[in-house]
Amino acid sequence: MTAMQGPAARPLSELIEGFWVTQLIGTAVALGLPEQLAGGARVYEEIARSCESDPGCVLRVLRALQTIGVCRSSDGSSFELTERGSVLRRDVPGSISGRAAFISGIMWNLYGQLRSVVRTGRPLPAGREGFDNLADDPGLAGMHRAIIESSIRIIEDAACVHDFARYSRVLDVGGGYGGALATLLRKYPGMSGSVLDLRYLAGDSSAYLRESGVADRAEFIPGDFFESVPGGYDCYLLKYIIHDWGDQEALQILRRCASAAGPNSHILLLERVMPDRLDESPEHQAIMEIDLAMMTTGGRERTEAEYRSLLAAAGLRMTEVTATASPCSVIGAVRTA
């Protein structure tokens, strides 16, 4: 390696070797180490007993976590959580525990298939059957914790640029546990709404809505948005739904929403908008990270022009594309007739 190659290769090598941190943090979350350390310093043997794991291996994991600033130790055998590590606890505001579980589990497996998808041009067996199969996926809880975590941030940011106070009844289409809806209902006491998603989520969603203190104004509706979407709402909210699907499926979902919407209803997509031109910024890297993951399952991120065309084909007219502080934009639409 020449002197010219050394400096150029070093930052790329750091990206290549980032896999170990993803799995290290995912393992820590799976073992509950952030919760184990929440009360202060503890010796590693005690932590290992609490999480029913091998003491020597737990020590090595804790040492590794120490090198990335998640915990610290003054004597090499007892460890305490740092401020950085505290956001990995499930029970704190702003937690990213679910995201860590989701990225190190389901997303990790999707990226493991990227090479095959690119070579063949065929996505993994997913689609509607794939979402049904998630009912038995051990990563389901982590995925929905990640969705709730992102929903809270995204809706709060969206509310800074879009007037949600105008809506009295909101349908969270494909909303999972209902993180987006619960966030809106806490913010707007006069609002009520429903979550529409597959039947196997009914129990967990209802429990989450109760825990969020909004069950008196919210309900879970079991259903399939490819088959039908209930009417009677003045806002149909689809957060990170359309990007899960190819154009044919996305068009079917939007047409169901358009059919259900009244003449004064608004359909709101909360989605990343693919830039017309890409650069090396972290923001553009982030959208391509998701786009490649979506490619493995048959979905995609879209440009503003592509969203406008898709909405028009569904009988909808785009009314706004408003960026937020989060990675997503508010894409508004109304019926054309």
Catalytic center residues? 243
SS (H, E, C) 86-155: HCCCCCCCCCCHHHHHHHHHHHHHHHHCHHHHHHHCCCCCCHHHHHHHHHHCCCHHHHHHHHHHHHHHHH
Whole-number Å distance between alpha carbons of 293 and 271: 15
Are the C-beta atoms of 239 and 272 separated by less than 8 Å? no
Pairing outcome for strands 316-323 and 329-335: antiparallel
Whole-number Å distance between alpha carbons of 96 and 91: 10
168 residue type, one letter: S
Return the DSSP state at 275.
-
CB-count exposure of residue 16 (10 Å: 0-12, 13-18, 19+): exposed
Whole-number Å distance between alpha carbons of 187 and 184: 5
